[in-house]
Structure 1
Amino acid sequence: MNAAYDFLVGPFASYAFMQRALLGSVLLSLSSCPVGVFLMLRRMSLTGDAMAHAILPGAAVGFLLYGLEIVPMTIGGLIAGMIVALGAGAVSRLTVQREDASMAAFYLISLALGVLLVSMRGSSVDLMHVLFGTVLALTDDALWLIASVCLVTAVTVTVFWRALVAECLDPLFLRSVSRLGTPTHFIFLALVVLNLVGGFQALGTLLAVGLMMLPAAAARFWTTHIGPMVAVAILIGVASSVAGLLLSYHAELPSGPAIILSAGVIYAASILAAPRGAFRGRVRVHRHRTA
């Protein structure tokens, strides 16, 4: 019993930095996992990855001007993310290029520009901090930012829940019966950018999208209803955060990648064991055919 307590609870009970990392990760799970579910249902999963790269130049400009200060890097990331989202949308509407292709072009340019800007002044350690985060070194300002993003996301998703669900299922129908179609789309993109900016403080620009998308993708194998899917995604995100932090502590591994790899393990297990996964899904289909 004592061994189990020391392994599972001891690190969080003994060290303030583990408590702060856990709080930040749980808040990120509460905030970003619902956004990931809607991204997945809209078939925009790779858009989250593109937007995660898109915030890098803005964060890099904030870093160049003020160093590793949270407010300038956050504001820069928000501005850069919004510019890329609006720019990719404008290109897809004004030209023959589809939005996924224009988004890919914008994010590749953004990633290269961001790495170049950070490299101009910072060291390789600074670059690793921006790209992969420092969840074990979250400051009060970072926690307040993540908590604010969580609150804004919760309120927005609650208020626009029906519109978000309707746009996932049939966006053309929503636009035909309501004026909320286009505003809902841009409000949702703003939520994506906001959560990625909050997530990069802990997990960096390259891994923030992992906590957004992997729990959502895993939850899809457990239920077909959107409400329960959001709840399952949040639970998987929290479980991944706890498991990743414990793995990081006991095995002396980088904390951010450990969290994302934990989510990846749960995703793989969901593929095999969930009711809508590969194994049980095939068993159910086989029984239906033989009945």
Structure 2
Amino acid sequence: MLHDALIGPFTEFEFMRRALAAVIALSLAGAPIGVFLMLRRMSLVGDAMAHAILPGAAVGFLLSGLNLFAMTAGGLFAGFAVAILAGVVARSTGLKEDASLATFYLASLALGVTIVSIKGTNIDLLHVLFGNILAMDDQTLLVVAFNATVTLLVLAVIYRPLVIESVDPLFLRTVSRAGGPAHLAFLALVVINLVNGFQALGTLLAVGLMILPAGIARFWSRDLTAMICIAVVAAAVSGYAGLVLSFQTRVPSGPAIILVATVLYIVSVLFGRVGGIVRQLFPGRHLEA
């Protein structure tokens, strides 16, 4: 019975295996990005960027329907455009970058929903907003895997300046000029992974497998390497459990994955060994001299 519930769906149905492979790829690439977003206090920026890709994806939908490459290209273009515009406005007017991004993402969300509504149906709108990982085909899976591979390779290249800038940006500016290029490359990786997540979870939930696992890792370790590993495992477990939950119930796959990640986050808040509520209420005995 347990085997049929937990393993059976993946051995019996190919679409479940594709969905699981996509979740693993999203976890490997997105969770480390989420950890750096959290360390750099850019979690809400990631959420804003997730909404910013919607108009581009919607234009791709308007021109080509639910065409993978048109919507992906449109999402990438819109994400980069909003990031650049928000940066230009922030530097030209003195407005904080988060406020600038908030303005653009609200406008982007409204524009994207309007564009999809012009041509599509309510089902199309739900697909764009919330995704459908169970309907993923081989072509989409290859794109997700390719973007994840690119993310890991670029992250390996910019890892050291990214870590230093997250901890002490002034020191990095003093000893190296790598901070600026590393920051721009990191923003590009954020956009790429949001587009990746958009294929599976839609624009509203794409950031979920980036931010929630990073928050979970925050309550279990202070070491960066350990945090990244914990975030990847938490994202993969959330994806697997969410797919099983979706298969066994009527809960849509995307929300099911995010709900499982939310449960893991609540458990971490309560019982995490680094700052968890229970740990603070009942601290262990300290070593006595």
State the TM-score, normalizing by the size of structure 1: 0.96
One-letter identity of the residue aligned with 1:258: A
Give SS of 2:41's match.
coil
1:247 and 2:245 are equivalent in the alignment: yes
Structure 1 residue aligned with 2:267, among 250, 266, 269? 269
Once the two structures are TM-superposed, the CA of residue 282 in structure 1 deviates from its matched residue by 3.5
Shift of 1:157: 1.1
> Which residue pairs with 1:192 in the alignment?
190
Matched position secondary structure for 2:206: helix
CA shift, 1:173, in A, is: 1.4
Q: Which residue of 2 aligns with 1:165?
A: 163
1:204 aligns with 2:202: yes
Aligned to 1:46: 44
| One-letter identity of the residue aligned with 1:188 | F
Structure-2 residue corresponding to 1:91: 89
Matches within 5 A, 1:12-161: 12-161=10-159
CA distance in 1, matches of 2:281, 2:46: 30
Q: Using the alignment, how far apart are the partners of 1:96 and 1:27 within structure 2?
A: 39
Q: Distance in 1 between matches of 2:79 and 2:149?
A: 20
Q: Which AA in structure 2 matches 1:171?
A: P
Question: CA offset at residue 161 of structure 1?
Answer: 1.0
Q: Partners in 2 of 1:207 and 1:177 — Cα distance? A: 39
CA displacement, residues 132-189 of structure 1 (integer Å, 9 cap, x when unaligned): 0010000112101110111011101111111110111011211221111111111000
Extract structure 1 runs of 4+ deviating beyond 6 A: none
Q: Normalized against structure 2, the TM-score is what?
A: 0.97
**Residue 63 of structure 1: how far off its partner (Å):** 0.4
Using the TM superposition, give the Cα deviation of residue 287 of structure 1 relative to its aligned residue in structure 2, in angstroms. Answer: 5.1
CA distance in 2, matches of 1:142, 1:163: 32
Structure 2 residue aligned with 1:279: 278
Identity of aligned residues (%): 57
CA distance in 2, matches of 1:4, 1:120: 46
Report the AA paired with residue 113 of structure 1.
L
Q: Distance in 1 between matches of 2:222 and 2:117?
A: 45
Amino acid at match of 2:48: A
Secondary structure of 2:105 counterpart: helix
Give the 3-state SS of the residue equivalent to 2:220 in structure 1: coil
**Structure 2: runs of 5+ lacking an equivalent:** none
The residue type paired with residue 143 of structure 2 is L
RMSD between superposed Cα atoms in Å: 1.3
